[in-house]
């Protein structure tokens, strides 16, 4: 799709917004899912703060969606940091999101030896702007869980930056994105957690890539990636990576400096920027306020609310997609379409995402 006034088409890196589901009745030869572009395997032991968001009603009707719709990171045993656009404006997401911390292999969900924690409260800022013409201003959210995760509360939580020194550090220049996002737009290349190194791009250079690029704010941080002659793509994030992290290695430890927000509609495109993130340092005070109980949740969930939703709707309604039954031996594939929204710029919400269960 082309819009004459646009210099580039952008994509929210949210796989589930368009199609994160699995349908037991669907039959399709294009079984693709979501993973990072030009990535290599990322051991969870190296990135223990990683988390994934799934949508399911398993405890209520035995059904679930087979793929994470977004990523996130661990703030403490009760709280997950993610992108606001991952959870904004959808009742099913508000009620049925399940957080899986430290997931190595997507195929372990939900019947493997993993933790599953339901979301109790959702927080995002009053100034979050989901107007796509403003490049998702203040795209940050926090999920509070019903029960505590079984984690190391010292070593498994993110380290947040206390300054933006990483922007000017000429020695420690390693930035790494981690997630379960597409290897290329709309294609599943790996079930493992992946990592990819990125190169910092100045906000002024980032702005020059996009028409009306002055709307890239100082609260966002941009990256490009090295070009691979094998894939003919640059390193970058892709659909399914929204809400996940970009880390800066400061010479001794990984510090999360950004939350995956959006990027080119063709993941890894050679246009000068492959990924745009919400910059965490600018939101440290708000994050601290949420953790201290100083903010009011935008939505809450409970057993009664979930039961009532299913009584009215029959099953989770998620952009026309249906969950699969909880039988790991059944063959099912996810289905769904893409949603395009016109604006400045045009943001094409995730491409087709399909995946077959073994």
Domains and CATH numbers, the chain: 10-296+330-346 (2.40.10.120)
pLDDT averaged over the chain?
Answer: 79
What pLDDT was estimated at residue 336?
22
**In 2-75, which ranges are continuous DSSP H helix?**
16-19, 58-61
State pLDDT tens for residues 83-132. Answer: 999 999 899 999 999 999 999 999 999 989 999 999 999 999 999 988 76
Q: Which pair of tokens denotes residue 134?
A: 């403003």
Q: Report how far residue 98's alpha carbon sits from residue 120's, in angstroms, rounded to the nearest whole number.
A: 10
What is the secondary structure of 275-335 as a DSSP string?
A: EEEEEGGGGHHHHHHHHTT-S--SEE--HHHHHHHHHHHSS--BTTB-PEES-TTS--B--
pLDDT surpasses 90 at 276: yes
State pLDDT tens for residues 204-222. Answer: 999 888 766 667 899 999 9
H or E element at residue 176:
strand 174-179
- Average the pLDDT over 147-176 and give the result: 96
H or E element at residue 96:
helix 91-96
Helix (H, G, I), strand (E, B) or coil at 86: helix
State pLDDT tens for residues 244-262. Answer: 999 999 999 999 999 999 8
For residue 45, which of 151, 149, 201, 200 has the smallest C-alpha distance? Answer: 151
What pLDDT was estimated at residue 18?
35
pLDDT surpasses 90 at 317: no
Percent above pLDDT 70 for the chain: 75
For residue 233, which of 268, 272, 199, 266 has the smallest C-alpha distance? Answer: 268
State pLDDT tens for residues 63-95. Answer: 998 888 999 999 999 999 999 999 998 999 999
Q: Counting beta carbons within 10 angstroms of the beta carbon of residue 129, is it exposed (0 to 12), middle (13 to 18) or buried (19 or more)? A: middle
Cα distance from N-terminal residue to C-terminal residue, the chain:
34
What pLDDT was estimated at residue 35?
41
| DSSP assignment letter at 251 | S
Radius of gyration of the CA atoms of the chain, in A: 19
Residue 338: how many CA atoms within 13 Å on its side-chain side?
Answer: 18
For residue 179, which of 256, 270, 75, 88 has the smallest C-alpha distance? Answer: 256
Helix (H, G, I), strand (E, B) or coil at 101: strand
């Amino acid at each position: 799709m082309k819009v004459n006034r646009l210099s580039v088409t952008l994509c929210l890196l949210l796989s589930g917004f368009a199609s994160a589901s699995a349908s037991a009745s669907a039959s399709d030869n294009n079984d693709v899912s979501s993973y990072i572009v030009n990535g290599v395997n990322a051991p969870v032991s190296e990135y223990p703060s990683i988390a994934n968001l799934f949508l399911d009603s398993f405890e209520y009707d035995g059904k679930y969606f087979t793929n994470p719709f977004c990523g996130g990171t661990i703030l403490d045993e009760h709280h997950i940091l993610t992108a606001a656009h991952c959870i904004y404006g959808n009742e099913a997401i508000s009620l049925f999101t399940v957080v899986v911390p430290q997931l190595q292999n997507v195929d372990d969900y939900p019947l493997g030896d993993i933790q599953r924690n339901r979301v109790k409260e959702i927080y995002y800022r009053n100034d979050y702007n989901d107007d796509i013409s403003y490049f998702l201003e203040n795209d940050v959210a926090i999920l509070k869980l019903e029960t505590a995760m079984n984690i190391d509360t010292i070593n498994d939580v993110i380290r947040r930056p206390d300054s933006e020194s990483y922007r000017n550090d000429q020695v420690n220049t390693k930035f790494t994105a981690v997630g379960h996002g597409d290897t290329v737009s709309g294609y599943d290349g790996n079930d493992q957690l992946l990592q990819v190194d990125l190169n910092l791009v100045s906000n002024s250079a980032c702005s020059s890539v996009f028409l009306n690029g002055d709307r890239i704010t100082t609260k966002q941080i941009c990256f490009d990636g090295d070009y691979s002659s094998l894939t003919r793509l640059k390193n970058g994030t892709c659909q399914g990576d929204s809400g996940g992290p970009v880390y800066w290695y400061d010479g001794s430890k990984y510090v999360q400096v950004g939350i995956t927000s959006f990027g080119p509609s063709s993941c890894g495109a050679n246009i000068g920027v492959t990924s745009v993130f919400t910059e965490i340092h600018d939101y440290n005070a708000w994050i601290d306020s949420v953790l201290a109980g100083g903010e009011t949740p935008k939505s809450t969930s409970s057993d009664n609310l979930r039961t009532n939703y299913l009584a009215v709707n029959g099953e989770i309604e998620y952009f026309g997609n249906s969950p699969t039954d909880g039988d790991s031996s059944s063959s099912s594939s996810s289905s769904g379409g893409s949603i395009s929204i016109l604006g400045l710029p045009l943001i094409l919400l995730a491409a087709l995402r399909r995946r077959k269960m073994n």
